[in-house]
Chains A and B, each alone.
Chain A
Amino acid sequence: MTTVTNMPLSDLLKSFKLKTKQQELLIRVSILCLVYILAFITRLFSVLRYESMIHEFDPYFNYRTTLYLTQNGFYDFWNWFDYESWYPLGRIVGGTLYPGLMVTAVLIYRILHFLRFAVHIREVCVLTAPFFASNTTLVAYFFGKEIWDTGAGLVAAILIAICPGYISRSVAGSYDNEGVAIFALLFTFYLFVKAVNTGSLAWSLASAFGYFYMVSAWGGYVFIINLIPLYVLVLLITGRYSMRLYVAYNCMYVLGMLLAMQIRFVGFQHVQSGEHMAAMGVFFLMQVFYFLDWVKHMLSDTKLFQAFLRITVTCAVVVGTIALGLGMLSGYISPWTGRFYSLLDPTYAKDHIPIIASVSEHQPTAWSSFMFDYHILLFLFPAGLYFCFKRLSDATIFIVMYGLTSMYFAGVMVRLILVATPAVCLISAIAVSATVKNLTVLLRSKNKGVLTGSTKGSSSSRASSKALLDQSQPFQKNGAIALLFGAFYLLSKYATHCTWVTSEAYSSPSIVLAARGAHGNRVIFDDYREAYFWLRQNTPVDAKVMSWWDYGYQITAMGNRTVIVDNNTWNNTHIATVGRALSSYEDEAIEIMRSLDVDYVLVVFGGVTGYSSDDINKFLWMVRIGGGVFPVIKEPDYLVNGEYRVDKGAAPKMLNCLMYKLCYYRFGEMLTEYGKPPGYDRARGVEIGNKDIKLEHLEEAFTTSNWIVRIYKVKPPNNRW
């Protein structure tokens, strides 16, 4: 590091009698502390604006399981069979979840209680994600230091603290696996790169534990177990392999695989699933490769070695292909599952698996999303790639590969922008740090030139180059100052953009809606919680609620009632049954509902408030998913000339299906907007077609104050006489 030449600061610090190294350490530590605090507080917008509550849908399941874990202990949690969801089937929760997040939250909760802070588990859950985001900035600093130098590490920490791509899934209240998983991902990668750089077994063991934490936290661990073998393969092919690589990869693979198999949800996938075979293949390849390397080292005669090489390579290739072929043909090694196969072939899900295609986070990414989530990092990323290629080492090769593969996946699925964010931040940090360093070197070179010229007698060539440098000094210095101001301007714009995005786009709890009233005052719609608490307090304890799968987790967590289907979507036929019931006429639907013992039906309706994520807008997906299993439901029946309408010109099946009736019951009398006829649907912008709805087998039980959630009770069958 160059000396600190900013006069007042060094004078101040000299007054504390600190040496240069200590000054630098003080600056670094204070920057890191400030970044740590910044990463935490920038995620607190929704807690300050609304209240400390859990957001969205999936976090409610995580919250419910965490509650169960605190009340019943780990053994019961690990073996929990939940009979309150997927009504007749139940769900083996212990074996179908990733326990990392819940165990982490309960650990923090226990530590706080041990220190006599009597916090509620919900507060811990809400703030887990921001806490781990702060930890991620620290890991980013160490990773940047490993790849490039401390300057790049500091910039990486700052960039990732406020990057919207990461904030979107780790805001306070978003108690989801990704909040912890991104920390685990970056931590595992850092430990592995450290292991490759040092060749120490201890670091490899640490990276195996990091991998174990990642496997326990998120299904995206498949990315790690495929990227690291790919990286090893690239190093082997480009000839950069060394003994350190052997030690690092082998220890991490064997121990990591064993540890990962302890999670019941993952089970034996590491030896049976096609997605994990790359790691095993590279493992065996490494054994063969290094064995040959060792034999080559021992043999002095190259001709003999060539013969040996030929024999061994042919044997290995033959055995390998036979084993792989047998495994895949006999079905023992399962092929890539739909979720991951649709990453390689994005059109696969739309044709074959409508449930995966219907999730909004699984859509391909638009350019505007990239700009929104990354801002200036988008053009700093290629600049950083350039710098990485200029100084290739094991660590920079790794970060380049991580960046390129994750950017490809981020382009295929919106949700995966999150996985690409650490790579983009690190590579951009390299660009920023290297550029700023070069510019400040230019700024300071005149002073250094004068110093060395006066104190040392240099050779003639050095003197002449110094003279040249002195001649172009003013121009270069002015250019450097201008560029530095430009960099400062860009970075401050980045900070402004990130804060604005966090405040406007990513801090909404989704379960509480806000709007501006007529006088500019803020109006809060708390209908969801109103409905769930009504369910909790006014229905029998063993009541079963049928709704679309989006709301299942929230109903079980807040309403505390049994549901038919929920967000886990593990059983497509069961969801299709619900979809069929909601898209059929009332007489057919009541048969299905009686067979499932349904007591209440819950629908979400946005016609009065103009809320557009309601069930009528999602209805076509219900038809598609139901029709995928029961051919009696045909999508064209609900459309008119390929168009989806709910007004007078809508298809007759649409006007009389159960979902339409439940959403628009009594809506025909309602005046929603000044100057429009009664029954004007504000979310679709049309007057509805069927205003005179009569329900025969259901009766209205509850409608929330803004008509967003409507609950209907299934009437018992009529007496015969």
Chain B
Amino acid sequence: MAREKSSKDNAQALFNSLRSAYAVTPVNLKIIDLYVGFAVFTALIQVVYMATVGSFPFNSFLSGVLSCVGTAVLAVCLRIQVNKENKEFKDLPPERAFADFVLCNLVLHLVIMNFLG
């Protein structure tokens, strides 16, 4: 009983400390995190759909999932580059980071559109 209570306490403490640490992140980073979460959620929906209906036009399924995964990954890269706490990127102006992000997304979506079939 005591072990159960302590592990539940542990989980609770973990959750609380994570929440408090996350609450101090700046708003722009939270927006990017929201976008990443949305993209991953969309990818999960697509996978569940494929599991139920079958993967016949496999290229369409792949292009859908990879576009979600791709934008999620690129958004994470943007977050890394814009985050003030990362010493390696302190010389990088956030406008340049955002421009790179937009360019990569453009290429990603052009290829997706070619691949959708």
Residues of A within 8 A of B (CB): 199-202, 204-205, 208, 242-244, 246-247, 250-251, 254-255, 257-259, 261-262, 268, 271, 295, 298-301, 304, 307-308
Task: Evaluate whether A262 and B74 lie within 8 angstroms (CB atoms) in the complex, with A247-B80, A254-B66, A255-B107 already known.
Answer: no
Please, could you name 12 A-B residue pairs with CB atoms under 8 Å apart, sorted by A? A201-B78, A201-B100, A205-B107, A243-B86, A246-B77, A251-B104, A254-B74, A258-B63, A258-B66, A258-B115, A262-B114, A300-B21
CA distance A244 to B88 in the complex (A): 8
Q: Among the listed B17, B74, B115, which residue makes an inter-chain contact with A300, where contact means beta carbons less than 8 Å apart?
A: B17
The 7 closest A-B pairs by CB, nearest first: A201-B100, A298-B21, A247-B77, A254-B70, A250-B73, A304-B14, A258-B111
CA distance A298 to B81 in the complex (A): 17
With a cutoff of 8 Å between Cβ atoms, the chain B residues found around residue A308 in the complex are 14
Q: A243–B80 contact, CB under 8 A?
A: yes
Q: Would you call B48 an interface residue if the criterion is a C-beta within 8 Å of the partner chain's C-beta atoms?
A: no
Q: Would you call B32 an interface residue if the criterion is a C-beta within 8 Å of the partner chain's C-beta atoms?
A: no
Q: B81–A201 contact, CB under 8 A?
A: yes
Q: B21–A268 contact, CB under 8 A?
A: no
Using A199-B81, A298-B18 as known contacts, list a sample of 10 further A-B pairs with CB atoms less than 8 Å apart, ordered by residue number in A: A200-B100, A201-B77, A204-B104, A243-B86, A250-B73, A254-B70, A255-B107, A257-B66, A261-B59, A300-B21
Residues of B within 8 A of A (CB): 10, 13-14, 17-18, 21-22, 58-59, 62-63, 66, 69-70, 73-74, 76-78, 80-81, 86, 88-89, 92, 97, 100-101, 103-104, 107-108, 111-112, 114-115
Q: Is the interface of A mostly helix, strand, loop or mixed?
A: helix
With a cutoff of 8 Å between Cβ atoms, the chain A residues found around residue B14 in the complex are 299, 304, 307-308
Q: A258–B18 contact, CB under 8 A?
A: no
With a cutoff of 8 Å between Cβ atoms, the chain A residues found around residue B73 in the complex are 250-251, 254
User: Which residue of chain A is the closest to B67 with respect to CB atoms?
Assistant: A258
Q: Nearest Cβ distance between residue A242 and chain B, in whole angstroms? A: 6
Q: B101–A201 contact, CB under 8 A?
A: yes
User: Which residue of chain A is the closest to B80 with respect to CB atoms?
Assistant: A243
Task: Evaluate whether A243 and B104 lie within 8 angstroms (CB atoms) in the complex, with A262-B111, A268-B58, A304-B17 already known.
Answer: no
Q: Nearest Cβ distance between residue A204 and chain B, in whole angstroms? A: 8
CA distance A201 to B101 in the complex (A): 7
With a cutoff of 8 Å between Cβ atoms, the chain A residues found around residue B18 in the complex are 295, 298-299
User: Which residue of chain A is the closest to B16 with respect to CB atoms?
Assistant: A304
Q: B108–A258 contact, CB under 8 A?
A: yes
CA distance A417 to B86 in the complex (A): 42
User: Which residue of chain B is the closest to A304 with respect to CB atoms?
Assistant: B14
Task: Evaluate whether A268 and B80 lie within 8 angstroms (CB atoms) in the complex, with A205-B103, A243-B89, A251-B104 already known.
Answer: no
User: Which residue of chain A is the closest to B114 with respect to CB atoms?
Assistant: A262
CA distance A255 to B69 in the complex (A): 10
Q: B88–A201 contact, CB under 8 A?
A: no
Q: Nearest Cβ distance between residue B64 and chain A, in whole angstroms? A: 12
With a cutoff of 8 Å between Cβ atoms, the chain A residues found around residue B70 in the complex are 254-255, 258
Task: Evaluate whether A261 and B88 lie within 8 angstroms (CB atoms) in the complex, with A205-B107, A307-B10 already known.
Answer: no
Q: Nearest Cβ distance between residue B100 and chain A, in whole angstroms? A: 4
Q: A258–B10 contact, CB under 8 A?
A: no
With a cutoff of 8 Å between Cβ atoms, the chain A residues found around residue B59 in the complex are 261, 268
Task: Evaluate whether A299 and B21 lie within 8 angstroms (CB atoms) in the complex, with A243-B86, A258-B70, A261-B62 already known.
Answer: yes
Q: Among the listed B22, B76, B104, B115, which residue makes an inter-chain contact with A205, where contact means beta carbons less than 8 Å apart?
A: B104
Q: Nearest Cβ distance between residue B20 and chain A, in whole angstroms? A: 9
Task: Evaluate whether A251 and B77 lie within 8 angstroms (CB atoms) in the complex, with A202-B100, A258-B111, A258-B115 already known.
Answer: yes
CA distance A242 to B80 in the complex (A): 11
Q: Among the listed B88, B103, B107, B112, which residue makes an inter-chain contact with A243, where contact means beta carbons less than 8 Å apart?
A: B88
CA distance A200 to B91 in the complex (A): 12
Q: A298–B22 contact, CB under 8 A?
A: yes
User: Which residue of chain A is the closest to B78 with respect to CB atoms?
Assistant: A201
With a cutoff of 8 Å between Cβ atoms, the chain A residues found around residue B88 in the complex are 199, 242-244
CA distance A201 to B98 in the complex (A): 10
Task: Evaluate whether A201 and B97 lie within 8 angstroms (CB atoms) in the complex, with A255-B107, A258-B112, A295-B18 already known.
Answer: yes
With a cutoff of 8 Å between Cβ atoms, the chain B residues found around residue A243 in the complex are 80, 86, 88-89
With a cutoff of 8 Å between Cβ atoms, the chain B residues found around residue A205 in the complex are 100, 103-104, 107
Q: Among the listed A199, A250, A299, which residue makes an inter-chain contact with B17, where contact means beta carbons less than 8 Å apart?
A: A299
CA distance A691 to B112 in the complex (A): 67
Q: Nearest Cβ distance between residue A168 and chain B, in whole angstroms? A: 35
Q: Nearest Cβ distance between residue A65 and chain B, in whole angstroms? A: 22
Q: Nearest Cβ distance between residue A258 and chain B, in whole angstroms? A: 5
With a cutoff of 8 Å between Cβ atoms, the chain B residues found around residue A258 in the complex are 63, 66, 70, 108, 111-112, 115
With a cutoff of 8 Å between Cβ atoms, the chain B residues found around residue A251 in the complex are 73-74, 77, 104
Q: Nearest Cβ distance between residue A238 and chain B, in whole angstroms? A: 18
Q: A261–B104 contact, CB under 8 A?
A: no
Q: Among the listed A204, A244, A259, A271, which residue makes an inter-chain contact with B62, where contact means beta carbons less than 8 Å apart?
A: A271
User: Which residue of chain A is the closest to B97 with respect to CB atoms?
Assistant: A201
Q: Among the listed B13, B22, B69, B115, which residue makes an inter-chain contact with A254, where contact means beta carbons less than 8 Å apart?
A: B69
With a cutoff of 8 Å between Cβ atoms, the chain B residues found around residue A298 in the complex are 18, 21-22
Q: Among the listed B10, B66, B92, which residue makes an inter-chain contact with A304, where contact means beta carbons less than 8 Å apart?
A: B10
With a cutoff of 8 Å between Cβ atoms, the chain B residues found around residue A271 in the complex are 62
Task: Evaluate whether A201 and B74 lie within 8 angstroms (CB atoms) in the complex, with A247-B80, A258-B66, A301-B17 already known.
Answer: yes
CA distance A673 to B76 in the complex (A): 77
Q: A250–B77 contact, CB under 8 A?
A: yes
CA distance A243 to B22 in the complex (A): 19
CA distance A293 to B78 in the complex (A): 17
With a cutoff of 8 Å between Cβ atoms, the chain B residues found around residue A242 in the complex are 88
Q: Nearest Cβ distance between residue B22 and chain A, in whole angstroms? A: 7
